[in-house]
Amino acid sequence: MQALCLNSNQPKDLSVIEAPVPEPGPTEVRLRVKAVGICGSDVSAALGKPNFDFVIRPRILGHEFSATVESFGEKVEGLSEGDPVCAIAIHSCHTCDNCRAGNTQICEDRQILGFHMSGAMADSVCVDQRYIIPLRYGLGFVEGSLVEPLAVASRCVLKMCEIRPGHDVIVSGCGIIGLLCALLARAAGGNVTVTGASWDEEVRLQKARDLGFSTLVVSDETPLADQIPRLADRFIEASGAPQALAAASDSVQWGGLIGIIATYGSNIDWPATNIVRREQKIHPCMAAAWDDFEAAMKHLRDGIIPVDDLVETFPLSRAIDAFEASFEKTTPKAVMIPED
């Protein structure tokens, strides 16, 4: 089968390879991949960024995908060949306190599909049945490839940041997670402003404007706090830029909330005393659990997410072009489609 392989930790060391079709173990399902997105985390791993040093290479990447059931091991129940599905990206122990509370994404033994094990940027992938979720509401496969990133955004915006009608919300960062957060925050009644850097102006901030958001360019010379008429109730840091998180406190209401959905390539000089004196709440948001996936499918069903405006599709054979578009940030979301 065809697959996209990250070969080493050298930047952009990717190739489309011929790999053996995986055989499902007793509790595993072999899935025929229908659409698989490139995540910001895949891009960071492919660029060899230090926050993705944990990825053992060579590795077939891919954790944002939709598929149909192709075959399964003898202990698998309740699935039939051809069923449309997607999958939870984070595999967990199922016995620790966090897992039993439903917070499988912060299990200390977590393993991530496409980073710790072979992922879905391939014609087929094997996944344990416990992580397979039916693709509901007649959603299409490209929509299905957005369920995972939308689940992550949904957890941050709706569960952790508790956005209410009338809240002023700043979404820092205009990549796909930033745009999904902005769309969800607006649907929750927030007045949303999306920020980016000067190099985002032409493509990514334009996309945010096309989606109806006001935008601001932030730089050392033009700090965000100097550009906003009043402090925000909620600030969602989705850019991964250390300086954006370091400055967030200056743009947020006293008693307001900073949600952090990005990870960072370096440590951050943090104005801890200001944050304490203003009692600003900090909410880190890591990935998503089962109920967030279910919520994401409902958002797609409800038409909150203009999928066609966000996604650019590539055949899997052109995976390198899809990654190049992601490195160059010329598309909000590159989604690869394996050929039949």
Q: Which is nearer to Zn ion, 47 or 93 (CB)?
A: 93
Q: Which is nearer to Zn ion, 107 or 224 (CB)?
A: 107
Count of CA atoms in the C-beta half-sphere (13 A) of 93: 12
Q: Which is nearer to Zn ion, 64 or 233 (CB)?
A: 64
By rule CB under 5 A, what string of x and - marks binding of each residue 188-227 to Zn ion? ----------------------------------------
Tell me how far apart the alpha carbons of residues 19 and 6 are, in angstroms, rounded to a whole number.
Answer: 13
Q: What one-character-per-residue DSSP string does 209-220 give?
A: HHTT-EEEE--S
Q: Which is nearer to Zn ion, 31 or 232 (CB)?
A: 31
Residue (of 38, 7, 245, 284) closest to 145 by Cα position? 38
Tell me how far apart the alpha carbons of residues 329 and 119 are, in angstroms, rounded to a whole number.
Answer: 23
Contacts 24+ apart (CB under 8 A), 69-74: 69/29, 69/30, 69/31, 69/32, 70/29, 70/30, 70/31, 70/32, 70/124, 71/24, 71/29, 71/30, 72/24, 72/28, 72/29, 72/30, 72/129, 73/24, 73/25, 73/26, 73/27, 73/28, 73/29, 74/26
Shortest spacing between CB 177 and Zn ion, in angstroms: 8
Shortest spacing between CB 103 and Zn ion, in angstroms: 9
By rule CB under 5 A, what string of x and - marks binding of each residue 58-97 to Zn ion? ----------------------------------xx--x-
Q: Which is nearer to Zn ion, 86 or 252 (CB)?
A: 86
Shortest spacing between CB 164 and Zn ion, in angstroms: 27
Segment contacting Zn ion by CB under 5 A, of 104-112, 226-234, 257-265, 278-286: 104-112
Shortest spacing between CB 312 and Zn ion, in angstroms: 17
Shortest spacing between CB 25 and Zn ion, in angstroms: 20
| By CB under 5 A, residue 154 contacts Zn ion | no
Residue (of 278, 212, 211, 214) closest to 251 by Cα position? 278
C-alpha distances out from residue 304 to 155, 185, 254, 297, 299, Å: 15, 10, 30, 11, 6
Residue (of 55, 72, 151, 69) closest to 111 by Cα position? 55
Q: Which is nearer to Zn ion, 93 or 320 (CB)?
A: 93
Per CB under 5 A, the list member of 61, 107, 132, 295 interacting with Zn ion is 107
Shortest spacing between CB 28 and Zn ion, in angstroms: 19
Q: Are 174 and 215 in contact (CB under 8 A)?
A: yes
Tell me how far apart the alpha carbons of residues 165 and 161 are, in angstroms, rounded to a whole number.
Answer: 13
Tokens of 71: 């075959």
| Footprint on residues 23-52 left by Zn ion (CB under 5 A) | 39
| By CB under 5 A, residue 145 contacts Zn ion | no
Q: Which is nearer to Zn ion, 104 or 129 (CB)?
A: 104
Segment contacting Zn ion by CB under 5 A, of 100-108, 163-171, 223-231, 310-318: 100-108
Segment contacting Zn ion by CB under 5 A, of 21-29, 107-115, 217-225, 268-276: 107-115
Total number of residues that touch Zn ion (CB under 5 A): 6
| By CB under 5 A, residue 99 contacts Zn ion | yes
Shortest spacing between CB 299 and Zn ion, in angstroms: 16
DSSP single-letter state for residue 196: E
Q: Rule CB under 5 A: which residues touch Zn ion?
A: 39, 92-93, 96, 99, 107
